[in-house]
Amino acid sequence: MYQRIFVPVDDSSTSRRALDEAIKLAQHTGATLLLAHVVDLAQFGWGGTEFLDASELQKNIKATGEAVLNQAREAVEAAGLPCSAVLLESWGDKMAEVLVGEAEKEQAELIVMGTHGFSGLMHLLMGSVAEGIMRRANVPVLLVRSDETPDADAPPAVM
């Protein structure tokens, strides 16, 4: 069964639900959880930031990412499971590519992540990291849907 489960985390309730599912799976299989959080620093590394201290802003963004990882790590350790955690930096790369690259590097056998389930216009505007991972990953992907309905009038997202 799965021994290395890759779990991208952020600070959303959907991500926490996915982490909870990954913990349940790992408890049954004895797997190690591989936690990852991506910070996109590109938006603060070029023009338009002359009124900002870009390096200070990037440092704060990384600190926030570390806090997200620490919170996830604490949840995994409280469940008595082994884990590792990595803060990944993106410089304008597609987050899905960054995450899949890390999952491959870590030899993950399963990716467990949350999806907000946006459809229609919201999906077009927001994109979908989950969809990008599903298209690129060469291992199974378990998507955990949000318990909040993003657009009550929209039909369910099909992925």
- Sorted by where each begins, the domain ranges of the chain are 4-145
What is the structure's pLDDT at 52?
63
> What average pLDDT does the segment 108-113 reach?
97
Task: State the pLDDT confidence band at 50, using cuts at 50, 70 and 90.
Answer: low
Would you give the end-to-end CA distance of the chain in angstroms? 25
Percent of the chain scored above 90 by pLDDT? 60
Distances 96 to 25, 41, 47 between C-alpha atoms, Å = 23, 15, 25
Sign of the torsion angle spanned by Cα atoms 67, 21, 33, 132: negative
pLDDT at 154: 46
Residue 156 above 90 pLDDT? no
Q: Which residue has the tokens 């990953």?
A: 137
CA dist list (Å): 159 to 70, 94, 133, 145: 30, 19, 11, 11
Question: Could you tell me the two tokens for 148?
Answer: 């909040």
Q: Span 54-78, mean pLDDT? A: 92
**What are the Cα distances from residue 120, in Å, to 125, 136, 138, 155?**
9, 22, 27, 9
| pLDDT confidence bin for 79, thresholds 50/70/90 | very high
Tokens of 97: 């590519």
Right CATH for 4-145 from 3.40.50.300, 3.40.50.720, 3.40.50.620, 3.40.1390.10: 3.40.50.620
pTM for this structure? 0.84
Indicate the average pLDDT of the chain.
84
Q: Which residue has the higher pLDDT, 98 or 146?
A: 98
pLDDT at 118: 61
Distance CA 129, CA 136 (A): 11
